Every structure is written in C-alpha cells, then in structure tokens.
Amino acid sequence: MTAEDPRRLLRSLPKVDDLLKREDVTSALVALPRGLVVDSLRQAISERRERVLAGDVAPFTEDDIASEALAIAQRRNARSLRRVVNATGIVVHTNLGRSILAPAAIDAVAEVAGSYSTLEYDVPSGERGSRHVHVESLICELTGAEAAMAVNNNASAVLMALAALAQGREVIVSRGQLVEIGGSFRIPDIMAASGATMVEVGTTNKTHLRDYEQAVTERTALLLKVHSSNYRMVGFTQEVPLEDLVALGAERGIPVYEDQGSGVLVDLAALGLPYEPTMSEAIKAGADLVSGSGDKLLGGPQAGILAGKAEIIERLKTHPLARVVRLDKMTLAALEVTLALYRDPEKVFEQVPTLRMLTMTKEEVGRRAEGLAAAISERCPGSFRVEVVPETSRAGGGALPMADIPTCVVALTPVEGSVVELEQRLRMGSPPVVGRIKDDRLLLDPRTLTVEDEQVVVEALAALVSA
C-alpha cells in the first residue's frame, strides 16, 4: 500500500458523533456506560491523530477507529480487582491475595455484607454491643489467652502494641530479629512510627539473655521477640528462648511481646511441615502478648490477631489506634468462621484451603497433575508437549522459607510459538491464569488450583489453541 498524505489522513479522522451512530457502537452501549464510550471514542481518535502527526501514515478506516475505541472502553470497564487462577504452587501468594477462604467463611461474608448484622448489637439486651465479642472468646479458647482482639492486619497489630505499651519509652529487641517483611514492613520503621525507642541488643547471628539483661533500664517498656519469617540463619547462631525472656520480664516487671508473623494455631509438624511456634505455645510460655496474621498460615482473611493478658489487651482496646485499625464486618465474619473451624484440629486441615493445600501429599498432587495433563492433551491435541514432572511448591507469604514442599506439576512446551508467549497469553486471559516458566516449559502446579480452576485452565488453553 502506498503512503498517504498526512493532511488527508488527518481530515479523514471520523467525528465522535458519526461514530456514535454506528451499529457496533450503539450495540456496545447496552453493556457499557455512554460517558465511558464517548470518552473512549475521543481517546481512539486522538491517539490516531498523534500517530499520524508522529509520522505514521498507514491508511486506516472508520472501522479501525471504532474497534480501537471499543477495545479501550472494554479495558477501562473491566474490574480491576478480580479473580486469578494461581497455578504457581505458592500457597500464601502475597501478590495474589494470600489465603483463599473456606466456603463457610465466604458464606458468612456474603450474609453480613447483604444484611444488617449484630456487628455492634447485643441481641439479648437490645442494646449497643462490642465488635470485639465476635472473635475474642474464640481466640482465647484456641490460644489459652485471657483476652484477645483482632485488627486490620498484623502490621497494625505490631504498631498498635508498640504505641500502646511503649510510646516514649524503650523496647529491647535482638539485632537478629530486625526483619523486613515483603512490601514495606520493617521493624525499625514500625518502631519509629509507634513513638517507641528501639534498643538493639546482641549481634546479627547471636543474642544472649545477658544482652537483654544489660540493656534493661527504668525506661524499658517492653521486651520484643520477632519471628524471622522470611529468612533463616544457619551456622553459628543463637536466639533467646521466649521462656527466658519471660523470666527476665517477670523479674524486672517488664511485659514480653512475641510477634509470630504467621498466626499458627495448630501443630504443622504433625502433618509433615516444618515446626512453627503456635500462639498457644507463646501464651503457655508466659508471653504477655502474642500476635500473628489472619491470612498467612492461619488461612483466614487479612487480619492481625492479638492474644494475651487481660490488662495488656485492655490497654490496646482503649488506645486511640484501636479505632483506626479496627476490622470491618466482612472480615470479622470470615475470621469468626475460620477460627471456629480450628475447634476441630483434625478437620481444620481439610476445611481451611491454605492448610489443605500445604499438606497435600506429592502423590495426591501427582494424581491431580495426571488428570490435568490428560484433559489438556485431549482438548488441545498436538499443540503442546505435556509432561508431569516432580517439582517443589512453596508456602509463600514470608512463611516457612526453608520448606521445599514436594509436588508434581504439569509442564507444557508449545509445539508452535514460544513458552514466553504462552505464559503471557494465559496471563492476559479472563480470568488470568498465572503459572511459572522454568527450563523453557510452562509449569502449572495443581497444589494451588481448585477443581474448578483446573477446568478454567483447560478451557483457556483450548481457546488459545483454536484462536
């Protein structure tokens, strides 16, 4: 095709009003808001004008502009926060929303979202109630603590605890525990934001009880222990056990707070995962306060769980920040139901998806992988080399960093085109399917796929192949 005269091209740009009379545009108005469509028509016309002015003199038609505009409108109208199929095998995948909820928790969220609720209403008296009651006694029951509360996330739990218990005073913490958790949670920064002064003791690899003892002054408000979460030190290392900190705290009259990070309520080692301290162990050891996340290994909604001595929890509940970091009713509903599932420590591994996924055996995942591979081969004959290979899954969420969880994945090699392109096209689908590339193959780990997700993956691949 010969190059066109730019001035003639600019003159031939359609008008918004003319585009609005087109059949394809009017029928799009059934599903798309008019203002959005008009905006997108303007945008498509102006983008084309810019291209011509920048020297792109390829010919175009009104049809081209209209379909560009409708594509823009569709993109802008698509929901931003939406479902993704997680085929990465990373169970607590922070970027993909960490934990998915148990069905009973989802039902409870829907119920309180669509109805008025007992959020702050005491039914027997007909009077104002407290939003703390919905989870407090459950947390106490599951941890053995005297009192408890739940807040927006564990980061806010740490911030509020430091502010309420140590503002303007000193908090002693081991240098080996000054961790950074994904995103922007860093112990020294949270400490500064809380108004407490951090007193670092020990060295990176070794901290002794005497380091804490020597740092205690009349300004000391708290002894803090922080879970190293996303890293492990090996070799010549030493940490002070919680019991020893508790003994020191009791002797000097200083409360002890353990930030456990993950919020573990059951013995994970019993199902073959690495040992993780539980909240009830911290309470039993005598900690005045312990906190953990709701959506890491606990497998519930985003939340921060605080359990401890009644007097300490009372100070937290009455601190101004408690109102700032309080939970909304949907989260409270999900948290209450998730916690209640922990009353049966055996069934909980079946019912809470995060625990279920983490404890699926390699053989069980292998059977799922074989089924998925067979379905892909059947729906997309000749399009991929389909293999089932051993791999490792990860806990994610900054938890269990040393746990290589043996798994089986489906490994796809496209017969035509590149694996990079395959990964991208699956990711750009609806819903996006997120896998990972290794050794020029696309790996799909059934550990993090629901049965319904597997269907979605097969259909997405079939659609790609037929396109």
Question: Given the rule CB under 6 A, which residues bind ligand PLP?
Answer: 153-155, 158, 181, 185, 226-227, 229, 259, 261, 293, 304, 398
Long-range CB contacts (within 8 A, 24+) of 275-280: 276/399, 276/400, 277/227, 277/242, 278/143, 279/142, 279/143, 279/145, 279/305, 279/307, 280/142, 280/143, 280/144
Least spacing, CB of residue 426 vs ligand PLP, in Å: 28
Backbone φ, ψ for residue 43 (5° rounding): -65, -45
Spatial distance between the Cα atoms of 40 and 119, rounded to a whole number of angstroms: 43
Least spacing, CB of residue 397 vs ligand PLP, in Å: 7
Spatial distance between the Cα atoms of 212 and 239, rounded to a whole number of angstroms: 11
Minimum CB distance to ligand PLP smaller for 89 or for 300 = 300
Residue whose entry in the numeric block shows the structure tokens 């059949």: 23
Q: What is the dihedral of CA 410, 416, 417, 419, to 10 degrees?
A: 10
Minimum CB distance to ligand PLP smaller for 221 or for 226 = 226
Least spacing, CB of residue 142 vs ligand PLP, in Å: 18
The DSSP element (H or E) to which 405 belongs, if any, is strand 405-414
Spatial distance between the Cα atoms of 263 and 284, rounded to a whole number of angstroms: 15
Sequence-separated (6 or more) residues with CB below 8 Å from residue 466 = none
Least spacing, CB of residue 293 vs ligand PLP, in Å: 3
> Which residue in 173, 88, 137, 110 sits closest to 395, CA to CA?
88
Minimum CB distance to ligand PLP smaller for 188 or for 417 = 188
Least spacing, CB of residue 393 vs ligand PLP, in Å: 19
Least spacing, CB of residue 168 vs ligand PLP, in Å: 23
Q: State the sign of the Cα–Cα–Cα–Cα dihedral 55, 56, 62, 66.
A: negative
Residue number of the CB atom closest to ligand PLP: 261
Minimum CB distance to ligand PLP smaller for 40 or for 262 = 262
Q: Is 448 exposed, middle or buried (0-12, 13-18, 19+ CB in 10 A)?
A: buried
Minimum CB distance to ligand PLP smaller for 186 or for 210 = 186
Least spacing, CB of residue 456 vs ligand PLP, in Å: 28
Q: Are 441 and 419 in contact (CB under 8 A)?
A: yes
Spatial distance between the Cα atoms of 261 and 278, rounded to a whole number of angstroms: 10
Minimum CB distance to ligand PLP smaller for 304 or for 414 = 304
Least spacing, CB of residue 344 vs ligand PLP, in Å: 25
Minimum CB distance to ligand PLP smaller for 285 or for 443 = 285
Q: Are 292 and 154 in contact (CB under 8 A)?
A: yes
Spatial distance between the Cα atoms of 426 and 31, rounded to a whole number of angstroms: 25
Q: Is 467 exposed, middle or buried (0-12, 13-18, 19+ CB in 10 A)?
A: exposed
Spatial distance between the Cα atoms of 308 and 155, rounded to a whole number of angstroms: 17
Q: Which amino acid is at 398?
A: G
Minimum CB distance to ligand PLP smaller for 255 or for 292 = 292
Least spacing, CB of residue 114 vs ligand PLP, in Å: 27
Least spacing, CB of residue 228 vs ligand PLP, in Å: 8
Minimum CB distance to ligand PLP smaller for 154 or for 393 = 154
Minimum CB distance to ligand PLP smaller for 162 or for 457 = 162
Sequence-separated (6 or more) residues with CB below 8 Å from residue 360 = 447
- Tell me the CA distances in angstroms from 291 to 134, 216, 270, 342, 467, one per residue in order: 18, 23, 22, 17, 51
Minimum CB distance to ligand PLP smaller for 154 or for 207 = 154
Least spacing, CB of residue 307 vs ligand PLP, in Å: 15
Residue whose entry in the numeric block shows the structure tokens 């909304």: 328
In angstroms, how far is CA 347 from the centroid of its own chain? 23
Least spacing, CB of residue 191 vs ligand PLP, in Å: 12
Minimum CB distance to ligand PLP smaller for 264 or for 405 = 264
